[in-house]
Amino acid sequence: MKETFLVTGGVRLKGTVKVVGAKNSVLKLMAAALLAEGTTTLTNCPEILDVPLMKDVLEGLGCQVEIERDNVRITTPAQLKSDADFDAVRQFRASVCVLGPLTSRCGRAVVALPGGDAIGSRPLDMHQTGLEKLGATTQIRHGAVVATAEKLRGAHISLDFPSVGATENILTAAVLADGVTVLDNAAREPEIVDLCDMLNEMGAKVEGGGTSTITIEGVEKLHPTTHEVVGDRIVAGTWAYAAAMTGGDITVGGIAPVHLHLPLQKLRLAGAEVETYATGFRVSMPARAQAVDYQTLPFPGFPTDLQPMAIGLAAVSEGVSVITENVFESRFRFVDEMQRLGADATVDGHHVVVRGMEELSSTAVWSSDIRAGAGLVLAALCADGVTEIHDVFHIDRGYPQFVDSLQQLGATIERVTKP
C-alpha cells in the first residue's frame, strides 16, 4: 500500500504551531548513548520514522530502546556488538553516526555504507581521516566502513569542509581517547552544540561547541544522562516559509530564533513581517512576496535543508530569484517537480533561476527526499485545484504530525492510502 497527500491550494495559513526536537539532533544523540553503560533518556523527541529506524540500529548492537511518545530511553550494555546491522543502517544516512561511538567503546566498528535521501554524494572520507588521525585504521570492505583501534589518542584534526557528520563522529570518538583533541574547521550547527552539551552532561570535557574550533579532553568513562533535544530549526523554517508563500500569519514556538537568523532575514527582505521572541517567532506576509536571492552554506549560512522552501517562495514571488546550491550537487532534482507544478525555473549548474508567477497549477508530483517533499506540499498550497503528492514516506521521516499541523493552520490536505 502506498500513501499520498491530496493538497488543495488557495488557502492562507494562519495560527500557531510548536516544533519539537530536531531530527538532525535526536538521531546523533541516540548514537551518543552508546558511549555510556546504563540508561540514557532523551526528551522532546520528534515522532518521526527515523527514530524507530535508529532504534533498530541500536538494538542490533545490544541496546534496549523504549520509545514512548516524545521520550526515548536507551539502555546500553557493558559489552556492545561492534557490527551494525546492514539492513537497518542502509535505510538512512544518520546511521553512520554510530561509527565514532563504536570505535571509541569497542575498538572496532563495522558500519554499512548508509542510504537516505537522494540529494547528492556524501562520502565518508573525512570521517575516516579523522578516525585515522586519532589512531584508528579504516577501510571500506564489502560495502561497509571498518574501523579498528587498540586505543585512540588525541590529535590535531583539521577538516577540509565543516562536515556535520564528520564533526559528530570525531567528537564521539575523541571523548574517550587519551589526551587532547583539537578539531579545526568544525561544523557550527546548533545540533553540534546540542551534542556537545549532552556529552558534557555525560562527563565529557568538550569546549568550543558552536565555534569553528572544538577542543576535547579525553576522559576514562562517561555516565548516562537525561537530555532535552534542541528544537528543530528546519521544521520551524518550513512553517516560516509556509506563512510567506501562502500570504499567511503563523506563530512558531519551541525554537530559538537565532538558529534561523538568516532564513528569517531573507523573509524580511521578501516583504514579510517577522517578530521574534525568546522561544519562537511570528511570520506574516501582508502582500505578495518580492524576489530574493539565496545561496546555501554551512551554518550560520542559509541551510541547504531549506533550499526547496526558498525555491517554492521564489516561484510565487514578484520578480526573478537566483538560488545557488553549495552543499549537495543533486538537490535540484526538486526543480523537476516544481516545473510540473508550472514553476518557471531553469537549472544552470549549481544555480537555478526562478521567475515568479502569481499562481502555480495542480498536478501529480513525487517527493525525492524529506525537504523536497515538504517543499512540494507548500508549493501545492499555492496552486489551483488539487495536487497529488507521492512518496510521502520521505516527509514522515522528518516532519512529525505534518498533516495534522497543516490542517490546524487551515490547510486542506488529506492522507490517502492506495494499492
Statement: residue 122 has pLDDT above 60: no
3-state class (DSSP) for residue 242: helix
| C-alpha grid cell, residue 213 | 574550533
305 assigned binding-site residue: yes
90 assigned binding-site residue: no
CA dist 417 and 419 (Å) reads 7
108 assigned binding-site residue: no
CATH class of 23-228: alpha beta
Lowest mean pLDDT among 142-146, 230-234, 317-321: 142-146
Q: Are strands 71-76 and 64-68 parallel, antiparallel or unpaired?
A: antiparallel
- The rounded mean pLDDT for the chain is 94
What Rg, from alpha-carbon coordinates, does the chain have? 21
Residue ranges of the chain assigned to CATH 3.65.10.10: 2-19+232-418, 23-228
Q: Is 56 a catalytic residue?
A: no
Encode pLDDT of 206-234 as tens digits: 999 999 999 999 999 999 999 999 999 99
What pLDDT does 119 receive? 39
What pLDDT does 114 receive? 66
**Average pLDDT in the 158-168 region?**
95
| C-alpha grid cell, residue 120 | 547528492
- Whether the Cβ atoms of residue 391 and residue 369 lie closer than 8 Å to each other: no
Statement: residue 123 has pLDDT above 70: no
Instruction: For residue 333, name the pLDDT band (cuts at 50, 70, 90).
Output: confident
From the options 3.30.365.10, 3.40.50.300, 3.40.980.10, 3.65.10.10, give the CATH code of 2-19+232-418: 3.65.10.10
Lowest mean pLDDT among 181-185, 194-198, 232-236, 391-395: 391-395
CA dist 122 and 328 (Å) reads 8
Encode pLDDT of 97-106 as tens digits: 999 999 999 9
What pLDDT does 1 receive? 75
What pLDDT does 188 receive? 98
CA dist 45 and 49 (Å) reads 12
In percent, the amount of the chain with pLDDT more than 90 equals 86
List the catalytic residue out of 50, 70, 117, 396. 117
From 415, 13, 405, 402, select the one nearest 241 (Cα to Cα).
Answer: 13
Encode pLDDT of 26-85 as tens digits: 999 999 999 999 999 999 999 998 899 999 999 999 999 999 989 999 999 999 999 887
44 assigned binding-site residue: no
This prediction has a pTM of 0.94
Is the Cα dihedral 298, 194, 15, 70 positive or negative? positive
What pLDDT does 118 receive? 42
Statement: residue 284 has pLDDT above 80: yes
**Average pLDDT in the 277-301 region?**
97
326 assigned binding-site residue: no
- Which 8-state DSSP code applies to residue 400? T
Q: Please give the helix or strand (H or E) that residue 131 lies within, else none.
A: helix 125-133
